[in-house]
Copies of this chain bind each other. A is one copy, B any other.
Amino acid sequence: MNLPVFGLDEITRAVDPAAVLDAVRQTLIAHTHGRTTVPPPMHLEFADADGDSHVKAGYIHGAKDFTVKVASSFYRNPAIGLPSNQGLVCVFDARTGQARAVLDDGGMLTGWRTAAAGALVTDALAGSGVESVGVIGTGQQAELQIAWLAKLRTLPEVRVTGRTEARAADLCERLARHGIPARPAPLAETAGSSVVITATAATAPVLAAEQVSAGAHITAIGADMPHKNELPPELFRRAALIVTDDHRQCLEHGDLAHAVRAGTVEDSSDISIGRVLEDPAAWLTSGISIADLTGIGALDAAVAAVVVDALLG
């Protein structure tokens, strides 16, 4: 059989979000227990083209597939009518090494697994009395965080804050197409919500620690490199619970890294998302909780397996 290549349309039609959420939940738990293999990523820079490429591999022990993902960003592409984000996910049989499929997904699988991981931990730690939800950031991942959270619970009107009100209004329109009510809001109102999600490429805190309400839950998605930063170190000092998707990664290039360097928390102050997902009720707190996500390669394997099983049967 020739190796099949699937494009984004086919992938989108085939994928069942409930199956993605379930696979991501299981994989975050497996990762907590050391049942995943995630080698350090490879990185290539293309200075002449203002581009870079990351190669990530992931394997969940006992799974029938492993994946190798190439995810690139070439920032001059929009000028010639191409998306900045490019990439492929190659799926291999973990028992024979044979290639099963190539997913020409334009980076969407990464978007989905990031959204699913964020939505799961937000839902687990938000508790039952969520009066307000705020999102800071107006890009694709901000949209996906809210859209996937809405698959797990009914949301009140979402407050949206971006770099401009026009961008915030644009995200509200996109959310409306998902059937989710949303309105642009000033930063103080968004940051003061019962649940706050940050999904930006910021390199300095996007809110002030004192803007966050007592008892709020914050999920921070954006920081995945040492120079990126969304949450102020002072907010970590206020937190009753700090949750990370990968302890070491978050200490190196998550928001937690900035807080530890600033001395507002110890480097052992976090627990893993997998532990929370195993028993969410045990971790609900009346204080502030923070989830810091940096993205783990095993989730690529989890989502790709769901997609390939749906496509190949």
Residues of chain A touching chain B, judged by Cβ–Cβ distance below 8 Å, are 2-3, 5, 7, 37, 39-46, 48-49, 51, 53, 55, 57, 59, 62, 66, 68, 70, 72-74, 77, 80, 82, 86-88, 90, 92, 94-99, 102, 104
Residues of B within 8 A of A77 (CB): 96-97
| In contact, B40 and A59 (Cβ under 8 angstroms) | no
Residues of B within 8 A of A68 (CB): 42, 55, 68, 70
Shortest distance in angstroms between A220's beta carbon and chain B's nearest beta carbon?
27
- Please give 8 more A-B residue pairs, beta carbons under 8 A apart, in addition to A3-B88, A82-B96: A3-B5, A44-B66, A46-B94, A53-B57, A53-B97, A74-B96, A86-B98, A86-B99
Q: A44-B37, A97-B51 are in contact. Are A90 and B92 (CB under 8 A)?
A: no
Chain B CB within 10 A, most for which of A86, A96, A104: A96
Contact pick for A99, options B43, B88, B97, CB 8 Å: B88
| In contact, A70 and B98 (Cβ under 8 angstroms) | no
Shortest distance in angstroms between A90's beta carbon and chain B's nearest beta carbon?
6
Shortest distance in angstroms between A129's beta carbon and chain B's nearest beta carbon?
44
Could you say how many copies of this chain the assembly holds?
2
| In contact, A88 and B90 (Cβ under 8 angstroms) | yes
Residues of B within 8 A of A98 (CB): 82, 86
A and B contact pairs by CB, cutoff 8 A, 28 listed? A2-B5, A3-B5, A3-B88, A5-B5, A5-B102, A37-B44, A39-B42, A39-B43, A39-B44, A41-B42, A42-B68, A46-B94, A46-B95, A49-B95, A49-B96, A51-B97, A53-B57, A53-B97, A55-B68, A70-B92, A70-B99, A77-B96, A82-B98, A86-B92, A86-B96, A86-B99, A87-B97, A88-B102
Residues of B within 8 A of A99 (CB): 70, 86-88, 104
Measured CB to CB, the nearest residue on chain B to A77 is B96
Residues of B within 8 A of A57 (CB): 42, 44, 53, 55
| In contact, A3 and B92 (Cβ under 8 angstroms) | no
A interface majority secondary structure: strand
Residues of B within 8 A of A40 (CB): 40, 42
Q: Whole-angstrom distance between the alpha carbons of A122 and B182 in the complex?
A: 69
Q: Whole-angstrom distance between the alpha carbons of A87 and B70 in the complex?
A: 15
Residues of B within 8 A of A3 (CB): 5, 7, 88, 102, 104
Q: Whole-angstrom distance between the alpha carbons of A68 and B118 in the complex?
A: 29
Q: Whole-angstrom distance between the alpha carbons of A104 and B46 in the complex?
A: 26
Q: Whole-angstrom distance between the alpha carbons of A212 and B249 in the complex?
A: 52
Q: A92-B72, A97-B87, A98-B86 are in contact. Are A55 and B55 (CB under 8 A)?
A: yes
Shortest distance in angstroms between A54's beta carbon and chain B's nearest beta carbon?
10
| In contact, B97 and A86 (Cβ under 8 angstroms) | yes
Shortest distance in angstroms between A13's beta carbon and chain B's nearest beta carbon?
16
Residues of B within 8 A of A42 (CB): 39-42, 55, 57, 68
Measured CB to CB, the nearest residue on chain B to A88 is B99
